Amino acid sequence: MSNDVLIRAEGLSVGFQIGKGLFNKQILKAVDNVTVEIEKGSFFGLVGESGSGKTTLGRAFLKAVPITGGHARYEDGEVSYDLAEIAGPELKDYRKRAQLIFQDPYAALSPRMTVRDIIAEPLEVMGLTSSRAETDERVREIAAKCRLNLEHLRRFPHAFSGGQRQRISIARALVSDPKFVVADESVAALDVSIQADVLNLLKELQRDLGLTFMFISHDLSVVAHTCDHVAVMYLGRLVETAPTRTLFEGAKHPYTKALFSAIPSLDPDDRGTAQKLEGEIPSPTNQPSGCKFHTRCPYAVDRCKSEEPVLEHADAAGHEVACHRWRELMVPA
Amino acid sequence: MSSLIDVKNLTLKFKTDEGLITAVNNVSFSLKKGEVMGLVGESGSGKSVTAKALMHLNARNAVYTPESKITLHTEAGEVDVLSLTKPSEMQVVRGGAISMIFQEPMASFAPAITIGKQMVEQLQLHGNMSKAKAKEISVEMLDRVGISDAHKRFDQYAFELSGGMRQRAMIAMALSTKPKLLIADEPTTALDVTIQAQVIDLMKDLVNEFHMGIIFITHDLGVVAQTADKVSVMYLGELIEEGPVREVIRTPAHPYTQGLLSALPKLDDLDSPLTPVPGDIPSPLERPSGCVFHTRCSKIVGDACKTTLPQAYQLDESHSAACHIYPKGESA
């Protein structure tokens, strides 16, 4: 394992048991056999439709859902944990190192706490500071980095707009000085004019504090502008992963291509030229055989229905794709 | 093309404990048959409230000024929407001549009544028809919006359908009464991009087929570019720019519209940094004086921005913007 990898997942699976009783047991595999590396100091994007398992994978890396198969190795230079087995004091320590920024800044902040208390809570719960003065110091420091001023700290969340609330959520996530931050749809609930501001702030904080970000989003244009590396998920599988520029210039998986062409173009004269994907993502309890995407793929052949493709290297620079036909499909395009 | 709905000087305030809040201020526009208008704005811009006013659907604490006038042109004559008072009179604008599609289809269907029963109920209310006939029309409509197994879906509940299916069912329900005007309030915001593309295609087909007017409310300028003929941009209750979709998107005239467009992450240009519109949207309780956008505007031309509300300036026949950077009074 190279030194600049922060998290390396190997064959990671997360399954949930649904249905009760002896004979009705069914396992829903939300994340299935995912192998991926997240480099230290990178902005790693994870995209896919709802139901693709992107949120579950993010939570697995935070150890917020049980990992039911495979391994995930976290190594930040100070400690090294296997997230599949981590427990007890190690898990407690990992909680300081890995944090989550939520989607909805209106639901994530307690209306009864002042902004100062909201940001200070993780410090108090994890016992990271020894005195109130020290806590205040840390809160002020991180608040300033998130462009919140002293006067803001005394107020309650209701007095803030969406963008300001999201900055409070970010400050709260970063106050424990984490190394790894999962941002789950963190700008999806914001207006466009504010969204750019929060994205710029996240990038700035990542650079200044040397953070590693996992940025989960359904919005490909946002991902294109913020992330260094992107992974695309479909029904719990990783179907394609590549450095951002490579992916946006030369996507190889038919699903990734379809996702790109579904983005509404800003050009009013460019209507209806997109390659449209038929149907919807199948239910994870009733998954297709073979390649999970074959039911919607315009290029599916018999082999796709029976044999599941594995991630293979498309080039030496980290572009990987899981499709039986990506080589032949590249030719016409 | 003849006019379908005319909105004149619509001003709408809400009575609250903190006093009167202006939600919409002096907004005028009109829509022709078969025309698709995109109504764009951030949260709090008053776009949804404007749309609800067309159906007289705002909460009881809404106060309309006497100058506000909404005229709906139907085959049976003109309807002065804001003068309607009795629920029975309002049926013409609520599901009759005007239908509405909401953002979250799960919240718009009753969870404990089958989709079919809800569709039949509204058809019987508006169309005065037999149950069998209403069912026939409903199934036909479900089939038309691309729902497979329409007969089976008819007897299902909303929770049994996926997000995309639910939105299709919602559209089928809204269109089964053959409205003249369809108001779609963020109909694709809760959907995945691939499903959004399908729903947008469907709506375009339906406009061609039924030849109705559509008011498409959204914050996504990409969706507007793909669907609308003309665009109106709102900010804090003011209509700040309107014009044909090509002109507004290619040559936006108002600094706010320009800011919105440059804040959008663009896929064909990954190198340029994102430029946010500075600051936050003011609370409607603290409506700025003068031009409501002056607190965030980068193109302030003088004190006028802080003191006087700019009037709409006609850049050409159909494109106008309300901003002090354009000469006052005389229009080009």
Per-residue pLDDT band for A275 (boundaries 50, 70, 90) equals low
Res A120 pLDDT > 70: yes
Q: Which of A20-29, A252-261, B306-315 has the lowest mean pLDDT?
A: A20-29
B226 close contact with A: CB closer than 8 A: yes
> To the nearest whole angstrom, how far is the Cα of B201 from the nearest Cα of chain A?
8
Contact B220 A264 (CB under 8 A): yes
CA distance A329 to A114: 56
* For residues A266-280, average pLDDT: 75
Q: Are the C-beta atoms of residues A168 and A119 closer than 8 Å to each other? A: yes
C-alpha angle B27/B28/B30, rounded to 5°?
140
A134-146 burial code (b ≥16 CB/10 A, e <16): ebeebbbebbebb
| CATH T-level topology, domain B3-97+179-278 | Rossmann fold (3.40.50)
From residue B79, alpha-carbon distances to B4, B7, B29 in Å are 11, 12, 16
**Which residue has 């990783």 as its token pair?**
A238
B288 class by beta-carbon count within 10 Å (0-12 exposed, 13-18 middle, 19+ buried): middle
- Using a CB-CB distance cutoff of 8 angstroms, which residues of chain B are in contact with residue A273? none
Nearest Cα residue in chain B from A278: B198
Tokens standing for residue A291 = 């390649």
Of B196, B204, B266, the CB nearest to A262: B196
Is residue B298 exposed (0-12), middle (13-18) or buried (19+ Cβ within 10 Å)? exposed
Query: Please, what's the b/e burial string for B236-256 (b: 16 or more CB within 10 A of its CB; e: otherwise)?
Result: bbbbbbbbbbbbbbeebbbbb
Cβ contact B205:A288 at 8 Å:
no
Answer yes or no: do B164 and A280 touch at CB < 8 A: yes
pLDDT digits (tens, 9 = 90+) for B129-175: 899 999 999 999 898 888 888 899 999 999 888 888 888 899 899 88
pLDDT in tens, A73-98: 999 989 999 999 999 999 999 999 99
Q: 3-state DSSP call for residue A7?
A: strand
Which residues in A lie closer than 8 A to residue B197 (C-beta atoms)?
A: 261-262, 264, 274, 276-277
Is the minimum CB–CB distance between B43 and chain A shorter than 8 Å? yes
> Are A264 and B222 a contacting pair at CB < 8 A?
yes
> In A, which residues are within 8 Å of B258 by CB distance?
none
B102-124, pLDDT tens digit by residue? 877 778 889 999 999 999 998 98
Would you call B267 and A269 a contact, using CB atoms and an 8 Å cutoff? no
Amino acid of residue B188:
T
Q: How far is B67 from chain A (nearest CA, A)?
A: 32
Q: How does pLDDT run across A210-246, given as a tens digit for each residue?
A: 999 999 998 888 999 999 999 999 999 999 999 999 9
Enumerate the residues of chain B whose CB falls inside 8 A of the CB of residue A163.
Answer: 280
Q: Domain spans of chain B?
A: 3-97+179-278, 108-178
3-class DSSP string for chain B: CCEEEEEEEEEEEEEECCEEEEEEEEEEEEEECCCEEEEECCCCCCHHHHHHHHCCCCCCCEEECCCCEEEEEECCEEEEHHHCCCHHHHCHHHHHCEEEECCCHHHHCCCCCCHHHHHHHHHHHHHCCCHHHHHHHHHHHHHHCCCCCHHHHHCCCHHHCCHHHHHHHHHHHHHCCCCCEEEEECCCCCCCHHHHHHHHHHHHHHHHHHCCEEEEEECCHHHHHHHCCEEEEEECCEEEEEEEHHHHHHCCCCHHHHHHHHHCCCCCCCCCCCCCCCCCCCCHHHCCCCCCCCCCCCCCCCCHHHHCCCCEEECCCCCEEECCCCCCCCCC
**What are the domain boundaries of chain A?**
249-333
Confidence class for position B258, pLDDT limits 50, 70, 90? very high
Residues B145, B151, B154, B159, Cα dihedral to 10°: -80
Using CA atoms, how far apart are residues B34 and B42, in angstroms rounded to an integer?
26
- What sign for the dihedral angle of Cα B51, B56, B57, B60? positive
Q: Which residues of chain A have a CB within 8 Å of the CB of B261?
A: 266
- Write down the pLDDT at residue A17: 85
Question: How do residues A130-187 score in pLDDT, each as one tens digit?
Answer: 999 999 999 999 999 999 988 899 999 988 888 889 999 999 999 999 999 999 988 8
- Among chain A residues, the shortest Cα distance to B269 is held by A225
pLDDT of residue A3: 61
Q: Is B285 on the interface with A (CB under 8 A)?
A: no
CB contact under 8 A, A224 and B219: no
Q: Which of B25, B289, B226, B189 is nearest to A192 (CA)?
A: B189
B-chain residue closest to A198, CA distance: B276
CA distance A9 to A20: 30
Distance from CA of B204 to the nearest CA of A (A): 10
Nearest-10 Cα torsion for A269, A275, A279, A284: -120
Residue B331: pLDDT over 60 = no
pLDDT at A1: 43
B263: nearest CB among A195, A258, A274? A195
Least CA distance to A266: which residue of chain B?
B222
Residues 237-266 in B contacting A (C-alpha not used; CB under 8 Å)? 245-246, 249, 259-261, 263-266
Percent share of chain B, pLDDT over 70: 98
Contact between A280 and B220 using a beta-carbon 8 Å cutoff: no
Nearest Cβ partner for B265 among A221, A259, A265: A221
B205 touches chain A (CB under 8 A): no
Q: A-side interface with B, Cβ within 8 Å?
A: 49-50, 161-164, 191-197, 199-200, 218-222, 224-225, 244-245, 248, 258-269, 271-272, 274, 276-278, 280-281
Question: Taking 60 as the threshold, does the pLDDT of residue A6 lie above it?
Answer: yes
Could you tell me the sign of the dihedral formed by the alpha carbons of A136, A141, A147, A149, in that order?
positive
- Cite the DSSP H helix spans in chain A: 54-61, 88-97, 115-125, 132-145, 150-153, 162-174, 192-209, 220-226, 244-249, 254-262, 302-306, 326-330
Q: Which residues of A touch B280 (CB under 8 A)?
A: 161, 163-164, 194
Is the CB of A248 less than 8 angstroms away from the CB of B267?
yes
3-state secondary structure of A142: helix
CB contacts, 8 Å: A274 with chain B: 197
Q: Which of B307, B329, B320 has its CA nearest to residue B254?
A: B320
Name the pLDDT band for B208 (thresholds 50, 70, 90).
Answer: confident
Residue B195: is its pLDDT beyond 90?
no
Q: Is the pLDDT score of A333 beyond 50?
A: no
- CA-nearest residue of chain B to A217? B192
DSSP A319: -
d(CA B142, CA B3): 29
% of chain A with per-residue pLDDT over 90: 63
Please indicate if any CB of chain A lies within 8 Å of the CB of B275.
Answer: yes
CA dist A74 and A8 (Å) reads: 7
- pLDDT tens for each residue of A293-308: 999 998 999 999 999 9
How does DSSP assign A167-209, residue by residue? HHHHHHHHTT--SEEEEESTTTTS-HHHHHHHHHHHHHHHHHH
> Residue holding tokens 């190192």?
A97
HSE toward the beta carbon, residue A108, CA cutoff 13 A: 23
Q: Note the residue count of chain B.
A: 332
Residue B329: the pLDDT is 54
Q: Which residues pair with A14 in a beta bridge?
A: A31
Which residues face B220 on adjacent strands?
Answer: none
Tokens encoding A133: 């003065």
Range of lowest pLDDT (A9-23, A58-72, B229-243): A9-23
**Does B194 contact A164 at a Cβ distance shorter than 8 Å?**
no
